[in-house]
């Protein structure tokens, strides 16, 4: 799609603002006491849901490119990945600041006995190097190692799904949906990988 030099920046601004909208809506609901009986839990789950959604969107962009042959959506891959990290950071921040009241003692007491928290922390730790090295400068500096490092996003997708499964107590509908989405997105990559390998062996 030929949009010209001014077209793409405008679209990126629109996508950026739309991606920021869930944060603004959740924050506004919290300020105006519209999050229900348990506002901290609602805020915590809300940011966590959006972190998972943006992670799925990030994982989806390459398969969409593979299926459609169109590269244009890849322009938003870094932005979507950073928004996944942004909402994951807010998810963690609500837990530490509002749920645990910044208490190190409460953190040490809560984390070891909660596997879902450990899996969530692992997912966040996997996302940190991806966010830090997301710039073009870092991509150039790391060279081929950048691609290897950013494959951690596949692991983060899987650990995020496990985190969600362990967090939910009764209704597993949403975790199952995310598990299905992540599985399909990873399956597309696996199929492409083996097809390329088969072509190389057939030469």
CA distances from residue 88 to 37, 175, 192 in whole angstroms, order as listed = 23, 16, 29
Tens of pLDDT along 8-29?
788 999 999 999 999 999 999 9
- 110: confidence class by pLDDT, cuts 50, 70, 90: confident
What does the buried/exposed string (b/e) look like for 125-160 if buried means 16 or more CB atoms within 10 Å of the residue's CB? ebbeebbebbeeeebeeeeeeeeebbebbbebbbbb
Tens of pLDDT along 132-182?
999 989 999 999 899 899 999 999 999 999 999 998 878 889 999 999 999
Please report the pLDDT score of residue 168 as a whole number.
86
Residue matched to tokens 């997105």: 185
Whether residue 178 contacts residue 161, with contact meaning beta carbons closer than 8 Å, is answered with yes
């Amino acid at each position: 799609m030929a949009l010209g030099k001014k077209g793409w920046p405008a679209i990126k601004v629109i996508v950026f603002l739309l991606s920021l909208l869930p944060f603004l809506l959740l924050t506004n609901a919290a300020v105006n006491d519209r999050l229900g009986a348990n506002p901290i839990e609602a805020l915590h789950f809300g940011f966590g849901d959006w972190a998972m959604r943006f992670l799925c969107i990030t994982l989806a962009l390459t398969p969409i490119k593979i299926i459609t042959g169109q590269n244009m959506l890849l322009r938003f891959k870094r932005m979507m990945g950073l928004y996944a990290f942004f909402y994951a950071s807010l998810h963690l921040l609500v837990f530490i600041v509002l749920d645990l009241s910044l208490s190190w003692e409460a953190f040490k007491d809560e984390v070891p006995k909660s596997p879902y928290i450990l899996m969530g922390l692992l997912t966040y730790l996997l996302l940190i190097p991806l966010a830090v090295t997301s710039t073009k400068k870092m991509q150039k500096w790391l060279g081929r190692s950048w691609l290897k490092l950013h494959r951690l996003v596949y692991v983060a997708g899987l650990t995020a799904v496990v985190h969600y499964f362990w967090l939910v107590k009764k209704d597993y509908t949403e975790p199952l949906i995310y598990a299905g989405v992540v599985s399909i997105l990873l399956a597309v990559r696996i199929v492409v990988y083996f097809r390329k390998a088969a072509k190389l062996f057939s030469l």
